[in-house]
Chains A and B, each alone.
Chain A
Amino acid sequence: MFLYRNQNKNKCRDMDTILLQLLNGLDKGGAYALIALGLTLVFGTLGVVNFAHGALFMLGAFCAVSFNKLLTLSKKVKDESITFFDAYKEQPYLEIWLGDTGTTIIDWSVPLSILIAIPVMLLIGLAMERGLIRHFYKRSHAEQILFTFGLAIVLQEIVKSVFGANPIPTPAPDIVSGSANLGAALGLGDNLVYPWWRLIYLMFSAVIIAGVFAFLKLTTFGMVVRAGIHDKETVGLLGINIERRFTIVFGLAAVVSGLAGVMYVPVLPPDYHLGMDFLVLSFVVVVVGGMGSLEGAVAAGFLLGILQSFCSLNEIKAIIPGIDQIIIYLVAVVILLVKPRGLMGKKGVMED
C-alpha cells in the first residue's frame, strides 16, 4: 500500500517535471524565435549576413534600462547612517513629485518602455539600413560579416562606455515578479509553479510572431516582400520599388528583436555583451529553420528551446553526459545533413 502510494506520487512528480520542462523550453524558444525571426527577415529579403543583429537585441534591452534610469533620476540625499565618509542615498524625483503614483510608474517601467522602444528601435533600424547596410547588398558575405561584426563591436562599446560592463538588474513589476501556481489552476500537483514574467514573455512572443505573420501574409506590402524573398529580380522588373520596402523590413526586424530584448530584461539583467551571447545561437536557429523561411525560424526556435530544456533533465544527462551542452549544435548538424536546406528552407536562397 505504501509502495503503491509512493509510486503514484512519483508518477505525478514525473508528470510535473515534464510539464515544467516543456514550459521552460517554450519560454526559451520564444526568445530564440523572436531573435531568429528578425534575423531571417533581413537574411531572406536583403541577403545580408547581419552579425550586428545580436546588438539590436541588446539595444532593445538597454532601451528598457535607460527608460528605467530616466524614471529613477534621483535627488541625492545625504545618508546620515554612514559615519566613515560622505555617502548619499538616492530618491527618485518622480517619487518626490508624484508620491505613490511615481512609485507605481517606476515599478511598471519595463512594460512601459515598450512604448519607447518601438519608435527608438525603428529609428535605429532605418538609420542603420539607410546609412550603412544599404551599401553592402552587393558585397560578398565575407565583407558583410566583417562590416557588421565591426558595427556590433562599436555599438557594444558605446553601450559599455555609457552603462559600464556590469549587468544592470531591472525588475519586472512587483505584481508579476513572483510565480504562478499552475498546478493548482490545472488541478495538478502543487509543484507545478512557473514565474509569471516568463509566462508573460511566452505570450508576448506569441503575439509578436502572430503580428509579424499577419503583416506579411495579409497585407499587400507583406506579399511584395515575400515575393521579394523568392525572386528579387522579377519583383524589381514589375516596377515595384523593392528597396524602399527593404528599408522598412529592416526597421521591422530591428523592432522585433528590440522588443524581444526589452521584455528579456527582467529574466536576465542585460550587459553590453548580451547580443554576442545570442548571436551564434540565433544564426543556428535561422539556418536550422531554413534560410528565408519565417515559419522555419519560428519552428526551429521553439524546437531548439524545448530540446535544450529537456536535455538538462538529470535523467537524460545520466544517460548521455554533457548532452545539455551540445544538443543545439548536434541537432543543427543532424538536420543540415538530413535536410540540406534546413527544416523549411526554399531552394535558391543563399546557396552560393
Chain B
Amino acid sequence: MMNKPKEMNELLLILIFSAVVLTMPIWLSPLGAAYPDLLQKFAIFGVFAIGYNILFGLTGYLSFGHAAFLGVGSYTAVWSFKLLSMNVLPAVMFSVVLAGLFAAVIGFVSLRRSGIYFSILTLAFAQMSYNLAYSVLTPITNGETGLQLAKEDPRILDSAVVDGLPSTNFFGIELQGFSGFYFCAAFLILGFIIALRIFRSPFGLKLRAIKTNQTRMRYTGFSTRPYLLTAFVISGMYAGLAGALMACTDPLAGAERMQWTASGEVVLMTILGGVGTLFGPLLGVGIIKYFENIFSAINEQALHAIFDFLPTWLEEFMVLITHPFVGEGWHLTLGLLFMLTVAFLPGGVMEGIDYIKKKMSSKDTDETEGTSTTKTAEEGSSS
C-alpha cells in the first residue's frame, strides 16, 4: 500500500487515524471492549508495536528482547513518581531517554551480528535484565511484587501531604480511567505520525534497502550499522514510552514485563497483523489484547447467555463445542488463529484486507480505494 504512486494524502491519513483512535470508546462498546483498562492497553501496546515495526518491519532484524526496554521505561517512570513528582511529563521524558540509552548499548553490541544470531543476542540481554530485576536488583525493582508507590516517598517537586497515596496526573488531570486512555491515545497518534514520517523518508528507504540486500549495500561502500542502530534506538524509545505509559495509568512496575514471553508477544502482534505495514501491528495488538481480556473471561455462564436464543438442546450443544475455545481455553483459539493466519495469509491480517480491497476495487473501479482500505483496516481491528 505504501509504495503505490497514489499514496494517500498524509494529513488525511493522520486525521482518519486520530478519529478512529479517539472514538474507540464508542465503536468498541458493542464488542464489550470499551472499558478504560483495555482501551489503555490497546493504545499502549499500539505504541509498542508501532515502534517495534520500525525495526523489524523496515530492516528485517528480528529482536527478541524489546520487552527489556519496556521494563526499563516502566521502572524509570515509577522512580520518577517516587523521587520527583506525580506529574507524568517528567516520567515519560526520563523513560524515553533512559530506554533509548539502554537500547543504544544493547543495539551497539547486538547489531554486530545478524540473522538468528542477532535475535539470540537481544534475547539474552533481555533475559539477563529480567532475571536480575527479579533477583539481585530487588532494591531497585522490588522483585516479584513490583515497584510501587509509598507514602513516605520523597517526591521533591510535589510533596504535598495527601490522604493515602497520590495518583498520577498530567498538570492536575488525573490519569485514571478514560482520561488515562486519551492521554495514551495522544501518544499513539504522535507515535503513528512519527512512524509514518519515517516510513516515507529517505531514511526509511535506506532501512528497506538493508532488508532487501545488506551485502549489496555494503559492497557499494555504504555503512549499514549507523542506520540500523538508529532504527534500533528509535524502536527502543517507543518501547520505553509504552512502558512509561503503563506506569502512568497504573503506577506499578513488575519484572515479568521484561520476560521473553513479553518480547515474544510484540513479535507475534507484528507478524499477525502484517510486518512492515503501517496498520498491521495495530491490528495485531487489537486482536491479541481482545482475546487476552475478553475471550479469556467468557465462562460457561456467559456462553449460556449468548446462545440463549436457541432451542435448549441446540444451546447445550453450542455451549459444549464452543466452551473449549473460550475462557481458560482462549490460548487455543489464539494458537489456531496464528496457524491459520500464516497458512493462508502470509502477510498477516493486512494481506487479507488488501485482498478484500482488490476484490472491491475490481468490482467497482473507483478512484477512492485508498480511503476505503484504511477504513477497513481500522474497522478490522474490532473483529
Q: Which residues of A contact B (CB under 8 A)?
A: 49, 132, 135-136, 139, 141-143, 145-147, 149-154, 156-158, 161, 276, 280, 283-284, 287, 291, 321-322, 325-326, 329-330, 332-333, 336-337, 340-342, 350-352
B: number of interface residues (CB 8 Å): 44
Cα A260 to Cα B176 in complex, Å, equals 50
Contacts of B275 in A (CB 8 A): 142
Q: Give the residue name and chain of the B residue nearest to A326 (CB).
A: B128
Contacts A146-B338, A287-B117; A329 near B128 (Cβ below 8 A) = yes
Among B8-16, B38-46, B107-115, the one that faces the other chain is B107-115
Scan residues 306-344 of chain B and give those whose CB is less than 8 A from a CB of chain A: 324, 329, 331-332, 334-339, 341-343
In the complex, what's the smallest C-beta–C-beta distance from B102 to chain A, in angstroms?
15
Asked if A153 and B338 sit within 8 Å, CB to CB, the answer is yes
Q: Mark B109-130, 1 if CB is under 8 A from A, else 0.
A: 1001111110011011101100
- A153-B331, A326-B127, A342-B117 known; 5 other A-B pairs, CB under 8 Å? A150-B339, A161-B329, A283-B123, A322-B131, A325-B135
Asked if B115 and A149 sit within 8 Å, CB to CB, the answer is no
Q: Give the residue name and chain of the B residue nearest to A284 (CB).
A: B120
State whether the Cβ of B72 lies closer than 8 Å to any Cβ in chain A.
no
Cα A350 to Cα B112 in complex, Å, equals 16
Asked if A147 and B338 sit within 8 Å, CB to CB, the answer is yes
Contacts of A325 in B (CB 8 A): 131-132, 134-136
A-B contact pairs, 29 of them (CB 8 A): A49-B116, A141-B116, A143-B271, A146-B268, A146-B272, A146-B341, A147-B342, A149-B338, A150-B335, A150-B337, A151-B339, A153-B334, A153-B338, A157-B335, A276-B261, A280-B127, A280-B260, A284-B120, A284-B123, A287-B117, A325-B134, A326-B132, A329-B123, A332-B120, A332-B121, A333-B109, A333-B121, A337-B113, A340-B113
In the complex, what's the smallest C-beta–C-beta distance from A273 to chain B, in angstroms?
11
In the complex, what's the smallest C-beta–C-beta distance from B280 to chain A, in angstroms?
12
Asked if A329 and B116 sit within 8 Å, CB to CB, the answer is no
Asked if B332 and A157 sit within 8 Å, CB to CB, the answer is yes
Q: Mark B251-293, 1 if CB is under 8 A from A, else 0.
A: 0000000001100100110011001000000000000000000
In the complex, what's the smallest C-beta–C-beta distance from B335 to chain A, in angstroms?
3
Asked if A153 and B132 sit within 8 Å, CB to CB, the answer is no
Cα A154 to Cα B114 in complex, Å, equals 30
Contacts A153-B334, A322-B136; A141 near B62 (Cβ below 8 A) = yes
Contacts of B341 in A (CB 8 A): 146
Contacts A142-B62, A157-B335, A325-B135; A147 near B343 (Cβ below 8 A) = yes
